[in-house]
Structure formats: C-alpha cells, structure tokens
C-alpha cells in the first residue's frame, strides 16, 4: 500500500502512563537509565496479539440491484473479540478504486467498515500501532468473498458468506513502556516475564469500549481453535516419527546384511 | 488472393482501393506486359514478389559494337610456383582475350614471418626455455603453415603447447620489431606491440572454456541452485542490515546476540546434511527479531524457507505432498506460536524421513548391484537408475488411520485402484515397499 491516511490525527497514544515515573533498575547503568523509556527494549520477550481479519457478506435477495447485490462488512477483530485498540491505533482499508473514497480510515474500535457492492476484490488492510509499540505499520490482504462456494449451497439472504483469516501481530523485544501498558490486557498474549524485571506501573483502568464480544454479527464469527490444530500436528508428527524409526531399523538391517543376504528377504 | 493470405494481408486491403481511386487513368498500365492476365489476377494487383521484368525488355540490349564470345583458353596462375597450365572458359570481347593476372591469384595470401640473423638472436632473443634450434624449427613451421599454430604444435618435434609456441613466436617477433626500429615510437602503433600476447590469460581462458564444456547437466543444476541460495542469503542479509540500521545505539547488543544465536542451534533437531539450514534458521530468527513488528505467518514463511533451503525444489514438493497426505494444512489455519513451532518441526521430520528413504534406496541399490556381479560395482547408480527413479516418485503414503479425514481415505483408495500405471513395473524395491505399507 502506498497511500497513507489523508489526515494523520494527533497521536492519541500519549496517555498518562506514557510519562510514567522513572523506574529503578539496579542492573542498569545510570546513563542507560537516562534513556527514554520508549527506546529501552525488553530482550527475549515477545508480545503477540491474535487478530482475525475478514469479511461477512449478506446477499440482498429481492432487494438486490445490479450494482448493489450484497452488503458486506470488513473488519479486524481480536482473536477472541477483545478490544484491539490497546495496541492498534488505526486501521486503513483500501477498497477497490471504483468505490467513493476508496481509502477508508478507521481511528477507533470496532475496526470495521460496511459497504454495498456486487464484485469481489482484494482489500488491503493496514494496521497502525501506538507509538510505544513502534511506528511501523503492517499490511494484510483479504479477498472479499460475496458468492458462496458451490459445496456450501446456493445463495441465501439468511446465511452470509464468511471469510476470516487468523494471524498474530508479533512485537519482538517490545519497549518497556508498551509491555507495561498492555501486560494485563486480554487482547494481548504476554509470556511469563523474566524474573527480576520491574515494569513501570500502569493504570489499567481502560474502559472496554472497543470489545466486539456483543457484536451484531458476532455469531457469524469463526472459531479458531489452537488445540485442534495442535492435536492434528501432533498426530502427524507421531506418524512421521514412527516411520523414521522403521526406516532407521531397515537401514541398519541393509547395512548389516549388505553383500551377504538379500535385504528384501529379511521381511 | 492466395498470395495475400500468405503475406497475411487483409483481404480487401486499403492499398488496393486507394490505388484504384488515385490512379484510375493509369488503369491500362497497371498490368505489366509479359504477365498473363490470369497470373496477374491471382496476385490481386499486389506487386509480385518475383521481379516481373518484361521479357521483351530482357531481350533488348543497349546497342553495342561488342562481339562477345566464350572461349576455352589456357591461363597461368601467378600464385603457383610451377608453371602449370590449366584451361577455363573466358569471355572474349571482340576477339581480344582478357589480359592480366588470374583473378583468384590475389587470394593466395601468405604471412611474412620475420627472419632473424644469428647475431640478432644472440643479442635479443635468447631465452633459457628455448634453444636456438627449437626457435628455428618453430619459425620454419610458422612459415610453412602460415601461423596455423594448431598444425605447428602437431608437427613440432618436442612437446610444446599451442600457447607456448604462440608466446615464443610473438615474443621473438616483437623483440625483433623493436630492435630493428630506429626508435620505439616508430613501432608503438604496430599491432603486435600494442596488444601483446598474454599466455596466462589465454591458458586460463581455455581452461575455463573446457571446464564449462565438460560440465554435466547435474553440475549445472547444482550451480543454479547454489546461486539461487546465495542470492537468497544476500537478500536476507540486506534485510537484516536495513532492520539493524535504525537502532544505532543497540548495534553492539544485536551483534553479540547474533553470535549467540549461531552457536546455539545445536538444540534444533538435526536434519541430516542440513547444517546450513540450521545456520540459516538462526539468521532468520535474528533478522526477525530485528523487526519491530511482524506477522506470525510472515515469520513462519521465513522459517519454512530457511528449513528447506538445503533441499531441492523436488524435495520441497515432496514435503508438501506428504503434508497433504497427512491431512495437514500447508499453512496452518491458526498460526499461534506453538502451532508454528510444531508445524516447523513436522516439516523437519518429513525432510529427515525423505532423506532416510533416499539413503535406504541408495544402500539397497548398492547392495544388490554388489551381489549381481562385480562388473558394475563402481557405478552402482547407472544400471539401477530406472527402478530407483520409480521408487523415488512414489511419495511417502501415511496410513489412513487415527485422525484421517475422508479426503485421505479417498486418496488412498485411488492409489490402490487397478491400473496404477506409475507402479506398474514391479521392481523388488516397490514390492517390498508395498509389503511394508501393508504390515505398517
């Protein structure tokens, strides 16, 4: 994506905790302590934010016109519908150039956008993060799906076409300030922090305004189960490992009998 | 119209109508004489490809008083030293035969090979590697064969390479040229002085050429792979560098961390012959950590690439085929950290498995050829290639058990169906593999 949002609003991440009191870390040298909190990064810690992006498209049925046959919503939500605004500052959706103002900026949760149309196209979604999380943006691409796949039956006005993708936004070695701010937020996965690490205290009195838990389209959201995936992988690994063991055994047999007996006859 | 078709011109081409419009009064002149009307119609008025010259014009000649005859006459060739008389047909105008030299005599070129005196040799040309006799022989041969050095090298009594001969010849010639010139400036423009013969480069050039020509297909493929790999590494380094730059204060930290990472990878499960992949893994990890933010799926892609860096394209395809057979998505649906980790491990294990399969096949082929007779022990792969290839094409087929979806079941049924052309030649290896599968 080449476009940047037309009007960059003032950085709203300068919340009270951004000017948090200096912390005392005995292992740090004085000059390092003088560095801004922002630039100090916590090594070997990885913050990840599960996100799901996708579209839900309803066929308009009898109300459908030639140019507006579907009403669809594109969104970025938390892995389990938590409020993403703690990490995500702004989401920019880039629609097909045939739409009016194809670049849509959403500055507050829920990060979603509804439109009417007739055609499928690729939506570029840019995620912008709060400044303590780094000023880089991430681009993801989602293909808007309006027409159901054949195996899912004919079009109906009742059942929408849902396409979602699960991914995780990863912040390796985050800044201390960012870590402290999001540490206890449900939208964020923070690993067990190294012992002895003290973080600036954060006022975790965020109102949960951006949660999508009671979203009107909520019951169409897909479930992404990590456990299922892990189970499947474990089963596959077991099979492959068993096969490796078998091959190793055969190998040693071939090596042992090489030149004396037919290895095939050993079976 | 046929001619138009062949030329790919549009049927009712514009030029035709234009011609008709613009030159109506010349209509009678459009058909040149000497072409029958039917033939002219075939071309549709397009200028004919063959020069259509009026035959009457061919016969008409400029009025001349020349009387030309052709006569069988003898001639002498100045390029010949013997006075051989040969005959040929000559155009004789007004009874006067052509005078002058035989026209082809001028093509009998010969090289002016420099001659040196004994005194000059003593003064300028002595060379510890060359005796005077040898040099004399060389110059004789050069004269005789007009500097065709391949022939000279063939006839040369002692064994000298073409490059040695050339070098000696050009060195001597240059030395003589310089010695005889009144001042060095007089000969500085001479071809031989301006562009001296470079033995080293010439030898190197021929060596490189023969190397390229004697390369096998396999080596070429390997080279391409290595180059592609080098390019990939280079790109990833550039990426890492650019990620590193904005963080000037912590550069030293990053450096040590990098070193730590490259030492660490002993813990990664070993994939046979994939030491480079492991090292790659570490650099991938390091370059990922230098990014401020990235997507999990991006990281997984990078890691998958690093893991399969040492494998060929064919092997990567087989890994993916195996994943599908196992009912595992090529890209995880829920790419959490642990899912990605497991996915990577699975890929590594499949690589190990495929490597083992290959080794086993090789060992078997080796063993059986050893038993078959001693005549082919040194080249075990040649006689075995066909059945090994057949075996290689057969992908690892997991048992349709425990978790398998119906997709796998269907696939397996298809495999077991009659008329499996791919496995038709039942070599001992495939038979055994099938048996294995049955009791697995």
The per-residue pLDDT for range B273-305, each reduced to its tens digit, is 444 555 567 778 778 877 888 899 998 988 888
| Residue B432 included in any domain | no
Asked if B333's CB is within 8 angstroms of A251's CB, the reply is: no
Structural domains of chain B, count: 3
| Residue A90 included in any domain | yes
pLDDT of residue B152: 93
Could you read off the pLDDT of A193-216 as tens digits, one per residue?
A: 766 666 665 544 444 556 777 788
Do B53 and B147 reside in the same domain of the chain? no
B9 or B6, which is more confident:
B6
Structural domains of chain A, count: 1
Residues 6+ apart with CB under 8 A from A226: B334, B336, B338, B339
The percent of residues in chain A predicted with pLDDT above 90, rounded, is 23
- B429 vs A contacts (CB less than 8 Å): 264
Looking at the complex, report in whole angstroms how far the Cα of residue A235 sits from the nearest Cα belonging to chain B: 7
Split at pLDDT 50, 70, 90, the class of B379 is: very low
| Residue A23 predicted with pLDDT over 50 | no
| Residue B365 included in any domain | yes
pLDDT of residue B419: 43
| Residue B348 predicted with pLDDT over 80 | yes
Do B273 and B366 reside in the same domain of the chain? yes
Split at pLDDT 50, 70, 90, the class of A46 is: confident
Split at pLDDT 50, 70, 90, the class of B45 is: low
Write out the two tokens for B213: 């020509």
pLDDT of residue A39: 60
Distance between CA atoms of B212 and B202, rounded to whole angstroms?
15
| Residue A258 included in any domain | no
Q: List strands edge to edge, sheet with A103-106.
A: A103-106, A88-94, A122-129, A137-143
Pick from B284, B312, B314, B310: nearest CA to B299: B284
Could you read off the pLDDT of B310-323 as tens digits, one per residue?
A: 777 888 888 889 99
| Residue A152 included in any domain | yes
| Residue B216 included in any domain | no
> Can you give the CATH number for the domain in which A128 is found?
2.60.40.1970
| Residue A253 included in any domain | no
- B342 vs A contacts (CB less than 8 Å): 230, 233-234, 237
Distance between CA atoms of A214 and B309, rounded to whole angstroms?
46
| Residue A255 included in any domain | no
Q: Which residue of B has its CA nearest to A130?
A: B293
Asked if B333's CB is within 8 angstroms of A224's CB, the reply is: yes
Split at pLDDT 50, 70, 90, the class of B139 is: very high
HSE, side-chain direction, 13 A CA sphere, residue A49: 30
Split at pLDDT 50, 70, 90, the class of B49 is: low
Among residues B16, B44, B61, the one where a domain terminates is B61
Split at pLDDT 50, 70, 90, the class of B431 is: very low
| Residue B326 predicted with pLDDT over 80 | yes
Could you read off the pLDDT of B252-274 as tens digits, one per residue?
A: 444 444 444 443 333 434 444 44
Split at pLDDT 50, 70, 90, the class of A166 is: very high
- A229 vs B contacts (CB less than 8 Å): 332-334, 336, 339
| Residue B228 predicted with pLDDT over 60 | yes
Among A27-41, A76-90, A143-157, B36-50, the range with the most confident prediction by mean pLDDT is: A76-90
pLDDT of residue B28: 46
| Residue A83 included in any domain | yes
- B327, B367, B369, best to mutate vs chain A, most A CBs in 10 Å: B367
What is the arithmetic mean of pLDDT over B37-55?
68
**Containing structural domain, residue A142:** 46-194+209-229
| Residue B169 predicted with pLDDT over 50 | yes
Could you read off the pLDDT of A52-79 as tens digits, one per residue?
A: 999 999 988 888 888 888 999 999 998 8
10 Å Cβ neighbour count for B316? Answer: 17
| Residue A240 included in any domain | no
**Containing structural domain, residue B56:** 27-61
> Can you give the CATH number for the domain in which B151 is found?
1.10.10.60
């Amino acid at each position: 994506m080449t476009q940047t949002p037309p009007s960059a609003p003032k950085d709203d991440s300068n919340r009270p905790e951004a000017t948090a009191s200096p912390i005392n870390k005995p292992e740090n040298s004085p000059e390092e302590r003088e560095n801004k909190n922002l630039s100090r990064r916590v090594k070997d810690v990885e913050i990840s934010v599960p996100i799901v992006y996708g579209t839900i498209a309803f066929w308009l049925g009898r109300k459908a016109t030639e140019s507006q046959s579907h009403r669809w919503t594109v969104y970025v939500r938390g892995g389990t519908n938590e409020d993403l605004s703690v990490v995500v500052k702004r989401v920019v959706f880039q629609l097909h150039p045939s739409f009016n103002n194809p670049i849509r900026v959403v500055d507050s949760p829920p990060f979603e956008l509804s439109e009417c149309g007739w055609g499928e196209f690729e939506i570029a979604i840019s995620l912008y993060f709060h400044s303590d999380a780094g000023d880089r943006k991430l681009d993801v691409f989602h293909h808007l799906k309006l027409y159901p796949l054949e195996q899912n039956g004919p079009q109906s006005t009742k059942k929408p076409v849902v396409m979602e993708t699960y991914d995780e936004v990863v912040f390796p070695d985050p800044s201390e300030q960012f870590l402290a701010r999001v540490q206890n937020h449900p939208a964020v996965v923070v690993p067990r922090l190294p012992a002895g690490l003290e973080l600036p205290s954060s006022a975790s009195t965020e109102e949960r305004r951006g949660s999508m838990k009671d979203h009107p389209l909520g019951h169409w959201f897909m479930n992404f189960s990590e456990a299922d995936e892990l189970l499947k992988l474990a089963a596959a690994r077991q099979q492959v490992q068993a096969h490796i063991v078998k091959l190793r055994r055969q190998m040693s047999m071939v090596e042992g009998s090489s030149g004396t007996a037919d290895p095939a006859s050993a079976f | 119209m046929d001619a138009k078709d062949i030329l790919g011109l549009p049927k009712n081409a514009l030029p035709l109508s234009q011609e008709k419009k613009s030159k109506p009064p010349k209509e009678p002149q459009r058909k040149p004489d000497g072409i029958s009307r039917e033939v002219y119609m075939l071309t549709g008025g397009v200028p004919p490809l063959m020069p259509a010259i009026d035959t009457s014009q061919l016969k008409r000649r400029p009025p001349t008083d020349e009387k030309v005859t052709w006569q069988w006459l003898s001639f002498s060739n100045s390029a010949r030293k013997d006075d051989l008389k040969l005959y040929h047909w000559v155009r004789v105008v007004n009874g006067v035969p052509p005078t002058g030299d035989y026209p082809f005599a001028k093509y009998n070129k010969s090289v002016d090979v420099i001659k040196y005196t004994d005194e000059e040799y003593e003064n300028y040309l002595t060379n510890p590697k060359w005796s005077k006799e040898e040099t004399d022989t060389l110059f004789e041969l050069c004269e005789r064969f007009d500097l065709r050095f391949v022939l000279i090298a063939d006839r040369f009594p002692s064994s000298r390479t073409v490059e040695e001969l050339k070098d000696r010849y050009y060195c001597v010639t240059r030395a003589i040229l310089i010695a005889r010139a009144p001042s060095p400036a007089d000969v500085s423009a001479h071809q031989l002085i301006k562009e001296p013969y470079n033995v080293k480069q010439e030898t190197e050039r021929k060596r490189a050429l023969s190397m390229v020509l004697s390369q096998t297909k396999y080596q070429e493929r390997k080279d391409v792979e290595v180059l592609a790999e080098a390019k990939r590494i280079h790109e990833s380094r550039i990426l890492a560098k650019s990620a590193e730059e904005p963080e000037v204060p912590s550069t030293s930290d990053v450096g040590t961390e990098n070193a730590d990472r490259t030492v660490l990878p002993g813990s990664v499960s070993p994939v046979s012959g994939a030491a480079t992949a492991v090292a790659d893994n570490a650099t991938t990890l390091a370059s990922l950590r230098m990014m401020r933010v990235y997507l999990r799926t991006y990281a997984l892609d990078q890691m998958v690439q690093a893991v399969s860096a040492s494998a060929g394209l064919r092997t990567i395809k087989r890994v993916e085929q195996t994943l599908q057979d196992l009912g595992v998505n090529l890209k995880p649906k829920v790419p959490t950290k642990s899912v990605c980790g497991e996915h990577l491990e699975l890929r590594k294990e499949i690589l190990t498995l495929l490597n083992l399969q290959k080794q086993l096949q090789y060992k078997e082929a080796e063993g059986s050829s050893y038993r078959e007779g001693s005549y082919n022990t040194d080249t075990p792969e040649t006689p075995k290639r066909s059945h090994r290839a057949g075996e290689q094409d057969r992908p690892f087929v997991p048992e349709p058990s425990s978790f398998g979806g119906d997709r796998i079941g269907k696939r397996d049924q298809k495999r077991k169906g009659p008329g499996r052309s791919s496995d038709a030649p039942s070599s001992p290896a495939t038979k055994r593999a099938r048996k294995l599968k049955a009791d697995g």
